[in-house]
Chain A
Amino acid sequence: MKIKSILIANRGEIAIRIIKTARKMGIRSYVIKTAKEPNAWYLEEADRIIDFSENFDESIPEFLDIERIIKSAKKHKVDAIHPGYGFLAENPDFARRCEESKIIFIGPSHEIIYRMGHKTIAKELARESGVPLLGGSPGAVSDAEEARRVASEIGYPVILKAAAGGGGRGMRVVSREKDIERMFSLATNEAAKAFNNPDVFLEKFVREPRHIEFQILADQHGNIVHLGERECSVQRKHQKLLEESPSPALNSSLRKKMGDAAIKIARSVNYYSAGTVEFLLDSENNFSFMEMNTRIQVEHPVTEMVTGIDLIEQMILIAEGEKLPFTQKDIKLKGWAIEWRINAEDVQSGFSPSLGTIEKISWVENEHVRVDTGVRDGSVITPYFDSMIAKLIIHAETRERALQLSSQAIMKFWIKGTKTTLAFCRAVLQNSNFRKGNFNTSFISKELKIHYQNEPDEALLAAFFATYDYAREMNENEEKPLHTENGKAITPWVLKKRLR
Chain B
Amino acid sequence: MAREAKKKKTTKLIALSSTNKAYEFNRPLEKKIKYQGKVVDIKLHEDPKGFSYIVWKNKKYMLDVIEKKQNRYTIMVNGVWHSFTVETPVSLKRKRYLEQQVDLSVGVSIEAPMPGKIIDILVEEGSEVKEGEPIIILEAMKMQNEISSHISGIVQSVSVKKNESVMKDDILMEIRRA
Contacts and interface: CB of A to CB of B under 8 A. Distances in A.
B79 to A, nearest CB: 4
B73 A498 contact: no
A454 B51 contact: no
Contacts of A495: 2, 90, 94
Interface in A323-349: 346, 348-349
Given A349-B113, A360-B50, A465 B63 contact: yes
B78 interface: yes
Nearest to A410: B79
A189 B144 contact: yes
Interface in A163-188: 169, 182, 186
A194 B119 CA distance: 13
Given A386-B141, A458-B77, A499-B97, A467 B86 contact: yes
Contacts, number: 182
Given A420-B79, A460-B35, A466 B15 contact: yes
Given A383-B140, A465-B63, A452 B79 contact: yes
B70 A189 contact: no
Interface stretch (B23-31, B123-131, B152-160): B23-31
B141 to A, nearest CB: 5
Nearest to B84: A466
29 contacts: A186-B137, A189-B119, A237-B143, A349-B113, A350-B113, A352-B114, A352-B140, A353-B114, A353-B140, A355-B168, A359-B50, A360-B50, A360-B51, A383-B141, A385-B142, A416-B64, A426-B79, A454-B77, A458-B61, A458-B82, A463-B84, A465-B54, A466-B73, A466-B82, A466-B86, A467-B25, A472-B29, A482-B91, A499-B97
B161 interface: no
A471 B13 contact: yes
Given A411-B78, A467-B29, A495-B90, 5 more contacts: A352-B113, A459-B82, A462-B81, A462-B84, A492-B6
B18 to A, nearest CB: 10
Contacts of A461: 42, 54, 56, 61, 63, 77
Question: How large, as a class, is the contact surface on chain A?
Answer: 35 or more
B108 interface: no
Given A189-B137, A466-B86, A471 B27 contact: yes
A161 interface: no
By secondary structure, the B interface counts as strand
A98 to B, nearest CB: 24
Interface in B30-50: 33, 35, 42, 44, 49-50
A496 B97 CA distance: 12
Contact of B25 (A169, A464, A496): A464
Contacts of B23: 459-460, 463-464, 467
A346 B115 CA distance: 13
Contacts of A472: 29
A468 interface: yes
B112 to A, nearest CB: 10
A495 B64 CA distance: 33
Contacts of B140: 352-353, 383
A75 to B, nearest CB: 29
A498 B97 contact: yes
A487 B70 contact: yes
Given A463-B17, A463-B84, A387 B56 contact: no
A383 B57 contact: no
Contact of A496 (B2, B91, B113): B2
Interface in B66-116: 66, 68, 70-71, 73, 75-82, 84, 86, 88, 90-91, 93-94, 97-98, 113-116
A419 interface: yes
B13 A467 contact: yes
B104 to A, nearest CB: 20
Contacts of B65: 465, 469
A362 B51 contact: yes
A423 interface: yes
Interface in A475-500: 475, 481-484, 487, 492-493, 495-496, 498-499
Contacts of B93: 499
B139 A193 contact: yes
A190 interface: yes
A56 interface: no
A346 B80 CA distance: 9
A462 B10 CA distance: 21
Nearest to A413: B79
B115 to A, nearest CB: 5
A457 interface: yes
A481 B6 contact: yes
Contacts of A419: 66, 76, 81
A495 B2 CA distance: 8
B116 to A, nearest CB: 7
Given A190-B144, A348-B81, A459 B27 contact: no
Nearest to A187: B144
Nearest to B27: A471
B73 A469 contact: yes
Instruction: Kindly name the residue among B50, B113, B143 whose own CB sees the greatest number of chain A CB atoms within 10 A.
Output: B143
B62 interface: yes
Contacts of B79: 420, 422-423, 426, 452
Contacts of B119: 189, 193
A296 B98 CA distance: 57
Contacts of B114: 352-353, 355
Contacts of B77: 454, 458-459, 461-462, 465
Instruction: Kindly name the residue among A387, A416, A484, A496 whose own CB sees the greatest number of chain B CB atoms within 10 A.
Output: A416
B120 interface: yes
A304 B140 CA distance: 32
Nearest to A457: B56
B46 to A, nearest CB: 11
A387 B141 contact: yes
A416 B78 contact: no
Given A460-B23, A492-B6, A499-B97, A470 B13 contact: yes
